[in-house]
Structure formats: C-alpha cells, structure tokens
Structure 1
C-alpha cells in the first residue's frame, strides 16, 4: 500500500485562473458545471468520490433504496466534456489566504479563487456520550450503519427471550422533529405496518414503538404552522409517539434519559437534532458565526475577496433572511450557479451582482398519500397532492437518468406491493464496546 507522502495532487500547471472547489455537494457541483473550461481551470476536492442526494438518505437507512440509487460518481458527472476539470478524492486540511494555497493530506495547491462548499456535520451540542452511541444520518455510511442496526435489532428481537431486552430492541428513538426526523419516522411506521409482519410472522410489531423527540413545541419548525399541525396529525395517525418540548440529556447505548428524568430503554437512538458547519482550518474565528462562514451578498467570506462560501456553510444575513438561508438544497444550488456567473464577471472586470434567493417552497413526506408542502405566495398543500409534488420534485432533482429510473421503479414497485426494497445486512454494525455482539459475529463467521 502506498504511503501518503508518496502521493501528489498531480494538477497540471495553467495560465488560466484556477478555481478550487472544496466539496462536491449541491453547491460545489452546480458551480463547477457552470464554469467554462476555456476560461477557468477547475479543481474539486472531496473526501468521497460521489455526489449524494441527501434528501433521500433516510430511504437508504430504512431499506427503501440502495445507496447507488441516490449517489452519482463525481467523475461521471464531469466527464471529458468538461474541459480542464480535475477531481481529487482527498481531505482538505486547511486554507492559507496569505499564500493563496489550499492544503490537503497529499500536498498544497495554489488558487486564484477558492470556494468552500463543505456543507454541514452533525451537531451534538458538546454531548460526547450521545455522539458516541447515537446514529447520525449525514452520509451514506451513516445510512448503511443505521440500516444494519435496525435489521439486526429485528433479527435479535425475533430470537430473544427476555421481554425487557426485546422491547429495548423494538424501541426506536428519533431525536429531531425537522424534515429528516419526520420523514424517517413515517418510513419506519410504514415498515412496521406493511413489511416487518411479513418478514417476521411470529413477532407482534404492535409492540414496536417509534418515538419522535423535538425540543420545540411543534414538528417541522422551519415550515408553516399549518404544515406543522397537519404533519403532527399524520404522525399520530400512523402511530408515532410524539414527545414535544422534550430534550435528551444522555444516552449510553441502552437507556435514553430526558431532561426531567424520564427514561426509555432503547438500543437505537437516531440523532437528527442539529447540524453545524463543516469548517476548514485557516480562516480567523471572527469570520464565523454559529459554525458557518459570514459572507456578503456575493458569497465572499467577509474580509477575503478571493475566498467564497456557498450552501449550508455560508451565513448570508439579509433583511429577508436575518438568520441566513434555510439549510436545504435550493440555496446551495442557486448560489453555486450564481457564483459561477460572478466569477466570470470578475474576470471581465464587471460589477458583481448580489445573490437573491428564490424560495421554491418546502416539502415533507410522512408516508403514502401523506405529505405537506409550503409553496410561494403562501400556498399550502397537504395529502395526496403534496405527496405527488414531493415525488416529482425528488425525481426531478436526482442526478443522472439512471438514478431517476431506479428510484422511480422502486417507488412504483413499492406503491403496488408495499415491499420496502432489499433488507440485506451487508456489513453487520457492532459497537466497539459491544463484546457480546462481537463474539456473536465471530461465532457466526466460525460456522462458515
């Protein structure tokens, strides 16, 4: 195996302005697509070699979709048609605005413009115990870990004699009542009703409890009160146990403890309660606020005209959005496309145009025929119409025809059969401190 010091970035020299994009998510990918190779050399760094459609990540976690249905290789997205585009799968360790260089694990690269599009990471609010034992849902490996954990819990519950331990395997706690938590809860409720009884005919899945915990007084806080109230009604209809105005104090992998002292025995706590910006070393702390980079209306990091931030990592305060833009895909997509035009304006020495966000609306799905939508001009949809809108929008924004076809086929099949994909435990998830689980997996392997 090669050592890191034997690797190099191997980026060709150029006389064109070099744009370095850190992150291949919605913002970075849309920016790169709009930058003409005849005018710029574009270099993209990312720790993974694919672009993921994260709004559907929860369906991977609940075995509704396979990972390759929501991910597209970055090299396939930027093939030979994109002149002078260079992708490197490598972790960026820092930015040096003084020398105008980006540092990675395998070397440095000079830039003319650098764009930070790193998105967010899970925010555990300093609680290391919850970080250690809970399941985040930010990347495909997280979804696969959670899928294995859920399926393993059902398998073990089917074999366990102790009713207390069995119940802890069937208690699933989701922390965070935003879109991720709501959609995940709805998907698990559909599994409980339509899928799991057929897989485990000897088990009583009426004992499976799905808790949705939210610190505020309503679910879907970013959406309208009308959509929030409708979502609460839908969740209760499908049997989700809502715990509003409730905060989690601790979790040790076995017991969830809430502030106030209430406890629930559960071996699966899913953390969807908050995010913080995935920042990079090198910029001073005064350009950050709440884990995001402060930017002006041109997406320039304050005080650094050649350093830009777009998407969830950017904190653009405006009169309409005093707390920044919502942490969804659309601001990142629109900022990426807009910044591409502004970079071309810089090269032509033309005035920059401020970014203005066009809110196309927000959607959330709670299950079959149950969804809510907040649309422009204060329009609110619910039920079947909102559900169809959700399906259309998510198919439309998937990257690549193959992904669109696979997801559509899965959803059509599921609609008529209630089947929830292939429930395979490809790689068992065992916590490092779970000696019993490790021994069980070892003994299973010894039987081969």
Structure 2
C-alpha cells in the first residue's frame, strides 16, 4: 500500500467534488483529504427553483461546506485556485498560499456562457448560484406590485429555462408575460421524450410563449433583439434571464498546459489527466475520451465522483484503477409549483405525485448532514432514511 505523505486535494465542491470527497472518506477514513472551494455553501441546483418559490428553505438547497465536511472528518478551505504546477504537484491560490498534493481532483464546475453576444453580461440575469438567485428574487419582488404586466424573456429552452418559466408563472400568475427563446426546433431537445411532451403541455397550460429556431443577437437596457428565419426583430423587455448554456470554469489553467477537447479537460476512462496519473478531472470541466456524448448533468458528475473515489483507493492500495461506465438513471424536471415530470428506468410519471417523488429522490442525495440540522423540521431530512431504501430498491442511484 502506498504511503500518503501529502493530502488528497479536491478543488471544487459541487456534485462531483462533494461525492468523491465523502465517498473516499467512507472507503478509507484515515486518508488526509482537503477540499477547496471559492464559496462557503454547497449549491444543490435542482432545488434552487423550489427556493425561489418558497416551497423549500434556503438551507435545504445550500448547506454550509464547513458543516458538511467537518462532520465527515474532511478539511475544508475557502480559497480561489489561480495556478496548477502539474510537474511539481503544487497548487497556487489567490492569497499567495501554495499547497502540495499527492493526488489532485479538479472539478470546478461551470459558469454561464454568453457566447460573446453583446449585452448578455451587462443586461441579463442568471440562475447559477445563490448570488444569482438573490438578485432575481429582488427584481421579481420589486415588480410584484407594479400594476402593468412586465415582459420577461428566458433564453434557453433546456431544463433550467423550462423550470424557471413554470415556477415564475405559478408564483406571479399574470404579473409577467413570459417568452422562452430557443435556438433549436424544439424545447428540451436533448431530453427524454416524455418529459418534453409534459413540459410542452405545462407551458401551453400557463400560456407561456415559446419562440423556436430563434437566436438572441443583442440585449440592451430596454430591448432584446432576436433573429428568426433570417429576420431580426426587436422586442421591449423588462427582464431577460439567460439559461442558454454554460462553459467550464478553467481560469486557473495556462494555455496548452493539458490536453483539451471541446474546451474541456480530456481524461481517459479512468478519469485521469493525460501524462499525470495522480491528477483527475471530473464533472462539467472534463470530457472522457470515447464518451464525448455524456450530458453535463449532476447525475454524471455524481457517478464520476463515486467511481473516482474507488479508483483513488485502488491506486493507494497499489492496484490498477477501473474504467468508468455511465448508467443512465433517467431525468426529472420541475413543472411549476407542486408539479413535475419523471422519466427514469422505464418509469414515467407526471403531476403532483411526480413532484413528491422528485423531492424525495433529491433528498436522498443531499449531503448527509442530518446531525448538524437536528433543530430543523424539514420533512426532506425526516424521510431521508426511509426513502433511501426505496430508492436503492428501485435503482435510483
């Protein structure tokens, strides 16, 4: 067995980083594990929509890293990575701190991608973290008492755009005239057919307009310009929410430092970075050679994190790591207050029951911090243990 002289450092504590850290500690409690992230709270993004609608409270979707990792015996450091020296196994941070590592896992996640479209950064709202959530809540609340209907555009007809549109419509009823702008010829074009059909019904029911085969050309203070069928039309707008794409957060990497593909770090099927077998990249920032079609989702990130924990333990024991295999367990989407759609492992379910099942499945995947939240009365945690058995039986991993 290899002697661990330096810590295993995990940079980024999203779904991928959280999963590899907690699973690795469970496999080998004696390992020195250090997790570094630039923020203080874990963001359970699939539940941010329910925070917006006040169906759940903020701490349920954003527990503090300090609580999560201290309970697990893992060291957490809030800091910002600015440079990696792969040859020397050294990390450099924004406060001039330098750290040596024996194994490195980088999983710094995604940031919004504006595709260099004029006005996106300056004149759009986003929905990627707690700061975005709070900004959006303040804007919506300020306009709630406005007697006139406000024009709200959501750019991107993927899951995030659809979930936001339905939630906002249910919260504010007729306060906002909502339009979704999607560049392809259908919403949710990479998602399950059942969920797409249920989403189309949900949007039609709420009288939410969908502009397909449409692309945003510019967003100004008061206007949004949209091209469709070789024509550009300008619309008045009160708010534009950008959900049209993300890009990997790789600001700490130097040009040509490691091999990339589609702007992401290329790794082998053991999740190792080329030429650096003690370094790994997982989650949104990585792409596995030969598995380029894997979606950028929490499900993929968590499966990679779970597998990587096992591979690092194998390496420490002097054994060969195993290739990663993705298991598609389906997908779930929220469709307004108290409604959802699920297409998973042969099961299709929609409506209120689907919403409850969705919440319980996500509850089972929240960080295991029940002990640090004993004073809370959230049913998510109260029923977590019971439904873990249900989920395991039905293979919702």
User: By how many angstroms is 1:124 displaced?
Assistant: 0.5
Q: Who is 2:292 aligned against?
A: 322
Alignment of 1:73-88 (within 5 A): 73-79=64-70, 81-82=72-73, 85-88=74-77
Name the count of aligned residue pairs. 368
CA distance change for structure 1 residues 115 and 81 in 2, over 3 Å: closer, same or farther? closer
Q: TM-score, normalised by structure 2?
A: 0.86
Instruction: Report deviation, 1:368.
Output: 4.6
Q: Tell me by how many angstroms 1:356 deviates.
A: 1.1
Using the alignment, how far apart are the partners of 2:295 and 2:379 within structure 1?
Answer: 26
Paired residues of 2:6 and 2:102 also in contact (CA < 8 A): yes
Aligned partner of 2:301 in structure 1 is 332
1:148 equivalent to 2:120? Answer: no
> Which residue of 1 is the match for residue 262 of structure 2?
290
The structure 1 residue matched to 2:84, chosen from 95, 102, 107, is 95
Would the aligned equivalents of 1:179 and 1:364 in 2 still touch at CA under 8 Å?
yes
> Partner residue of 1:69?
60
Which deviations, in whole Å up to 9, do the C-alpha atoms of 1:266-297 show, x marking residues without a partner? 12100000011111324726622223211111
Contact kept? 2:178, 2:209, Cα under 8 Å:
yes
User: For residues 363 and 188 of structure 1, what CA distance do their matches in structure 2 show?
Assistant: 18
Q: How far did 1:385 drift?
A: 4.2
Q: Could you say if the C-alpha distance between residues 15 and 302 of structure 1 is closer, same or farther in structure 2, counting changes exceeding 3 Å? A: closer
Aligned pair partner of 1:226 in 184, 194, 215: 194
Work out the CA distance in 2 between the residues paired with 1:266 and 1:65.
30
Q: Give 3-state SS (helix, strand or coil) of 1:250's partner.
A: strand
The corresponding residue for 2:33 is: 42
C-alpha contact 1:234 1:370 (8 A) present in aligned 2 = no
Asked if 1:185 is matched to 2:185, the reply is no
Shift of 1:123: 0.5
Counterpart Cα distance in 2 of 1:221 and 1:370: 21
Taking the aligned partners of 2:240 and 2:313, their CA distance within structure 1 comes to 47
The equivalent of 1:274 in structure 2 is 245
Whether 1:173 and 2:153 are equivalent positions in the alignment is yes
CA RMSD across the alignment: 2.3
Aligned to 1:355, the other structure's residue is in SS state coil
Larger Rg: 1
Shift of 1:246: 1.0
Contact 1:310 1:332 in 2 (8 A): yes
Q: Displacement of 1:189 after TM fit?
A: 1.3
For the residue of structure 1 that corresponds to 2:105, the secondary structure is strand
* Selected match of 2:349 from 377, 381, 386: 381
Query: Is the 1:45–1:90 contact (alpha carbons within 8 Å) kept by the matching residues of 2?
Result: yes
Q: What secondary structure is seen at the aligned counterpart in 1 of 2:313?
A: helix
Q: Can you list the C-alpha shifts for 1:198-219, whole angstroms capped at 9, x where unaligned? A: xxxxxxx3x6301111111111
Q: Which of residues 105, 109, 124 in structure 2 aligns to 1:115?
A: 105
Provide, for residues 62-114 of structure 1, a one-character-per-residue CA deviation record: whole Å limited to 9, x for no partner: 454443231111111122651xx321111010111111101101211111111
- SS in structure 1 at match of 2:235: strand
Q: Please say if residues 93 and 105 of structure 1, whose CA atoms lie closer than 8 Å, have aligned partners that are also in contact.
A: yes
For 1:208 and 1:35, the matched residues in 2 are separated by 47
How many Å apart are 1:380 and its aligned residue?
Answer: 3.2
Q: Classify the secondary structure of the residue corresponding to 1:394.
A: helix
Query: Is the contact between residue 17 and residue 40 of structure 1 (CA under 8 Å) also seen in structure 2?
Result: no
TM-score by structure 1 length? 0.77
Deviation at 1:316, TM superposition (A): 1.3
In structure 2, the gaps of 5 or more residues are 382-397
Residue ranges of structure 1 left out of the alignment (5+ in a row): 1-13, 159-165, 194-204, 410-448
Q: Distance in 2 between matches of 1:88 and 1:133?
A: 33
Deviation at 1:146, TM superposition (A): 0.7
Give the drift of 1:244: 1.3
CA distance in 2: counterparts of 1:223 and 1:81, whole angstroms: 35
Contact 1:17 1:39 in 2 (8 A): no
Equivalent position to 2:127, from 118, 137, 146: 137
Question: Equivalents in 1 of 2:123, 2:56: separation in Å?
Answer: 25
Q: Distance in 2 between matches of 1:184 and 1:219?
A: 14
Q: 1:40 to 1:113 in 2, by over 3 A?
A: same
Q: 1:317 to 1:363 in 2, by over 3 A?
A: farther
1:113/1:307 contact within 8 Å kept: yes
Once residues 188 and 377 of structure 2 are traced to their aligned partners in structure 1, the CA distance between those partners, rounded to angstroms, is: 30
Change (3 A) 1:250 1:355: same
SS of the aligned residue for 1:306 comes to: strand
Check 1:34–1:352 CA distance in 2 against 1; reply closer, same or farther (3 A cut).
Answer: same
Structure 2 counterpart of 1:252: 220
